[in-house]
Chain A
Amino acid sequence: MTDISAQQTGGPQPTSKPEKPASARSAIWAQFRSHKGAVFGLAVLGFLVLAVLIGPWIWHPEKLSVAQAMKVRNQPPSLQFPLGTDQLGRDMLQRMMQAGKVSLAVGFVAMIIAITFGTLIGVLAGYFRRLDGPLMRMTDMFLALPLIPLLLVMVMLFRDDIARTMGPELGAFSLIVFAIGITSWMQAARIVRGEVLALKEREYVLAARSIGAAPHRIILRHILPNVVSPVMVAATLGVAEAIITESVLSFLGLGFPPDFPTWGRLLFDGLQYMQLYPERVIWPGLAISLTVLSVNYIGDGLRDALDPRIRGR
């Protein structure tokens, strides 16, 4: 009886060393780069992130006294105030940058919480038949809860306690992020469960079971990579939704403290003056739209890049 190894040692090894099977990451990047929208989205999002992170170091207008500020209220865009000033004479550009930091952080962190939780629930419900009923009824229950009253109750009950332990800003941030995350995972869970139900009947999952793969391995290796597309779509929409939910909360006075700007807050502040000074609404609205759009395009490109069938084309 001949062994495979015996076959091997007999013949000379091939002279050209075969490429190491590790170039997946560069292939993904190459495909991502070929998606024009994704690259554009990445550039816009990168610009926004850089602007809110290092912008405040570059653009720091001198602090005006109350009397000075009163004189420069409601200024249109000028060299001194590139985006104009608000009704209290504060520089809009500076406020936009401060607000963007919070809004982007809320959007992404809340989205990550929602997607992680939703995917976890979805995979467990889809893969383990016994968990399906309880988990999906829980999802239904969350879907049936009216979102805004729930958020109001949560914020009202816990805001002071959290603010005391973590400080007012971080406290408000973590509470809002948690509240948004915990109330927006249901769509992701539903989508993922449906996909998993279909995927687990595929023959390659059976093949993995036939070689003795443990359930967590099957989920990580065969199920999760194949639910990436719907999850990516849910995630990109989630960012937009989180930013907007945060602005709704701020508008209702339950989000961040009033002197703490976010894009949503600026939008609602400007709403009263919209007919007189439309740019006050346009700037935060534009920033939110650009973020959502760029994230959508990045998600689109990422989904294509992660699929070897599309990548090969």
Chain B
Amino acid sequence: MLDAPAHPGRTRTDTARPLVQVRDLKMYFPIYSGVLRRRSGDVKAVDGVSFDILSGETLGLVGESGCGKSTVGRALLRLYDPTAGSVTIDGEDIATLSPGALRRKRPTMQMVFQDPQASLNPRMPLSDLIGEPLIEHTDWNAERRLARIYELMDAVGLNRRFANRFPYEFSGGQRQRIGIARALALNPKFIVCDEPIAALDVSIQAQVVNLLEDLQDRFGLTYLFISHDLSMVRHIADRVAVMYLGRIAELSPRDALYSRPLHPYAEALLSAVPEPDPNVAATRTRIILKGDVPSPANPPKGCNFNTRCPRAFDRCRVEKPDLVEVEPGRLVACHLYSPDTRHAGSTGSPEAAIQARPEHFQQGAPK
């Protein structure tokens, strides 16, 4: 990159310090009702979320529609003003920065949007689209900007001849490359990928994800990868956070989570991933949750998941579980794994609790 600060040694394995620290992030959207448009409540889209993203890693953020994944991503970059909590990116608290300081901070954190059609101004040619961040944050002349635009186009695999074309002339995958080039233009350290592949064909999804991984290796990027595509998250993420109704249910390293999910919701979610091997698929139990997601405007008392949880017990209905480390590197917000429950229960260990599960999972299971 032209005047990129060198980041020697910032690779995936260098996970010494967290680049992004989120503490108790809350994002409420007010509901106004009645004739006088009084504030009658809040949609608690994100309700107390805390996590770290280490430098150079990819944190996957999964969950069903409407659970607040995208809101977390947008609040992280302060596209929404968070209701409470702090977001520290590279040593500065984003949530409280002044508008001017936030603007200067923007180059370190960028976003790739879900719908590349909607996130590109239809009246701007490609060169202007990619050059926009440069106009905002550098005082380069047109020639130097153009050189950088061409570099970026090369980096994301767009032909230089396309510089004059408009978004409607590109395919979905190409448009998403434009979106990625825009995000890369200012040499960011941290990129929020907000369902970057959800609007793309399956054949193109792999291209874009591979491009993202390739760019991460080359430039030492840190990603928050928001998606509902569990197998794609498994492919790209180092650690995965599972969200349910505005809270993180489980935050675990990828392999551990996919092989043995701890939180009942994570378990149910992962059982929905199609299994390519028919022999394995035949022996698997598919956990089908009953009922709907409660409204985030009126979340249930106690654990968010207690209305649908097959293993909920009395404590879940009164007390909100905190996200605590139950095994090295694995954080779960579930009373099943809290120390007092564990000691009180006869099974003694969460593994035993899991093995005891089939009797609770009769409903909806085909076998």
Contact = CB atoms under 8 A, between A and B. Distances in A.
Interface residues of A, number: 36
B169 A213 contact: no
Interface residues of B, number: 56
* Contact residues of A: prevailing secondary structure: helix
B151 A212 contact: no
Given A7-B155, A203-B115, A312-B168, A21 B163 contact: yes
B161 interface: yes
Given A4-B155, A225-B123, A226-B123, A206 B79 contact: yes
Contacts of A210: 77, 79, 106, 110-111
Interface stretch (B17-25, B128-136, B329-337, B348-356): B128-136
A5 B1 contact: yes
Interface in A164-220: 202-204, 206-214, 217
B219 interface: yes
B300 interface: no
Contacts of A4: 1, 4, 151-152, 154-155, 218-219
B168 A309 contact: yes
B218 A1 contact: yes
Contacts of B1: 3-5
B122 A309 contact: yes
A14 B163 CA distance: 14
A43 to B, nearest CB: 28
B121 interface: yes
Contacts, number: 122
B163 A18 contact: yes
Interface in A2-24: 2-5, 7-8, 14, 18-21, 23-24
A3 B152 CA distance: 11
Contacts of B119: 203-204, 206-207
Contacts of A309: 122, 166, 168
A120 B61 CA distance: 42
B111 A221 contact: no
A221 B124 CA distance: 9
A77 interface: no
A82 to B, nearest CB: 47
Contacts of A2: 218
Contact of B103 (A7, A212, A221): A212
A8 B110 contact: no
B122 A1 contact: no
Interface string B106-130: 1100110111001111111111100
A122 to B, nearest CB: 18
B151 A8 contact: yes
Interface string B152-172: 101100001101101011000
A210 B109 CA distance: 8
Nearest to B161: A18
A230 B147 CA distance: 36
B102 A212 contact: yes
B161 A204 contact: no
A67 B106 CA distance: 82
A211 B106 contact: yes
Contact of A221 (B10, B74, B121, B161): B121
21 contacts: A1-B7, A3-B1, A3-B219, A4-B1, A18-B150, A19-B163, A21-B127, A21-B146, A203-B115, A204-B119, A204-B120, A204-B121, A207-B111, A207-B120, A207-B179, A208-B132, A211-B137, A214-B103, A214-B136, A226-B121, A226-B123
Interface of A: 1-5, 7-8, 14, 18-21, 23-24, 202-204, 206-214, 217, 221-222, 225-226, 306-309, 312
